[in-house]
Amino acid sequence: MVVIAAGTMVLDGQVRRPGWLETDGGRIAACGAGAPPRPAGTDFPDGTVVPGFIDMHVHGGGGASYTDRGGITGAAEFHLRHGTTTTLASLVTASPAELLAGVRALAEAARHGTVAGIHLEGPWLSRARCGAHDPAQLRDPDPAEIDAVLDAGGGAIRMVTLAPELPGADDAIRRFLGAGVVVAVGHTDATYEQTEHAIALGATVGTHLCNAMPPLHHREPGPVLALLRHPGVTVELIADGVHVHPAVVRAVTGAAGPERVAVVTDAIAAAGQGDGAFRLGAVAVDVVSGVARVAGTSTIAGSTATMDRLFRAVHADAGLAVAAQTTSATPAHALGLERVGSLRAGYEANLVVLDRDLRVSAVMVRGDWRVGG
């Protein structure tokens, strides 16, 4: 058993100064405010300990991509160094054969614990709102393809993003929900009513709210308002200052509450790599001044963000408790993940130690120090 103490800890959603926790066998055995009941094995008097970050929408990082079998471990390790202890690896639109190959590779990685599961972002998306997805590979949901993808995933597919206005979308939503997959609305040109219908069928997530969907209009409110006003829907936000204005992050968090806002990176291989030419699936991407765009266009193509950077951005605006909620507890709840996303007794000992500048100094995964410590 190991006792960890820190000047600040976020325990069960509450900020404690100081705080402590005790790990045993990869889980948190006990935790509390004040001084620990016995001498700490590791003490961070000037540090802040928060739950390990959960990124439910990320395509790669550190020069590696989750669409490339050989890059899966490298991408996961890159984001681990930035505090992400639970990763939902995202695949982009691809041909049927490439999609199945990508699912199989990530399903194997999930079995080994490298990632927590798979997020299918496409190919069942709107051509009008395709963003950085290859429009030539977009298609309507097909029952046979969905069944083949689910079979290839072997239970590792945890979330799918689709456009609910497409022919066959209703059946697709039912099929995915029947397989225990979270359905997200995104890359969509749906009306308010079509989005409401998808939510009524069981969709519970809005993929990167405001991006790749019609903007809110007073006569045609579209998907943004439908997703925001429903209490059972979690909305993703890419809080990097590029995808949405910081004032929009504040407004959405204020309207929905931090319990319904999941901060995500939507990072691509370019994260941590500086400017240059990259790829997102079949699409060429240029990164200039840290902003990724489809080559030769103004279309944003994922991000170069990391979860610790987004944590700092939310913290600067809304404080420590909200930053921890939106980067850990909310995504865990949205995905139905158990015993992660919070520092409390019985939960996995996944935590991030931040220094005075809220930069990562140590990361623990299931009781083992993977970075620093």
Catalytic residue among 266, 355, 357, 368: 266
Whole-number Å distance between alpha carbons of 192 and 170: 16
Strand 14-16 vs strand 53-58: parallel, antiparallel, or unpaired? unpaired
Q: Which helix (H) or strand (E) holds 299?
A: none
Spatial contact of 83 and 363, defined as CB atoms under 8 Å apart: yes
Q: Report which of 299, 216, 291, 288 is spatially closest to residue 251, judged by C-alpha positions.
A: 216
Told to judge if 240 belongs to the known catalytic residues of this protein, a careful annotator would answer no
Nearest to 288 by CA among 307, 274, 301, 273: 274
Lookup: tokens for 46:
């000037």
Token pair 């990724």 is at which residue? 292
Return contacts of 364-369, CB within 8 angstroms, 24+ apart.
Answer: 364/23, 364/52, 364/85, 365/52, 365/80, 365/85, 366/26, 366/27, 367/2, 367/23, 367/24, 367/25, 367/26, 367/27, 368/26
Label residue 156 exposed, middle or buried (CB < 10 Å: 0-12, 13-18, 19+).
Answer: buried
Which whole-number Å values give the CA distances from 4 to 48, 51, 259, in the listed order? 11, 13, 27
299 near 293, Cβ under 8 Å?
Answer: yes
Please identify every residue annotated as catalytic.
Answer: 266
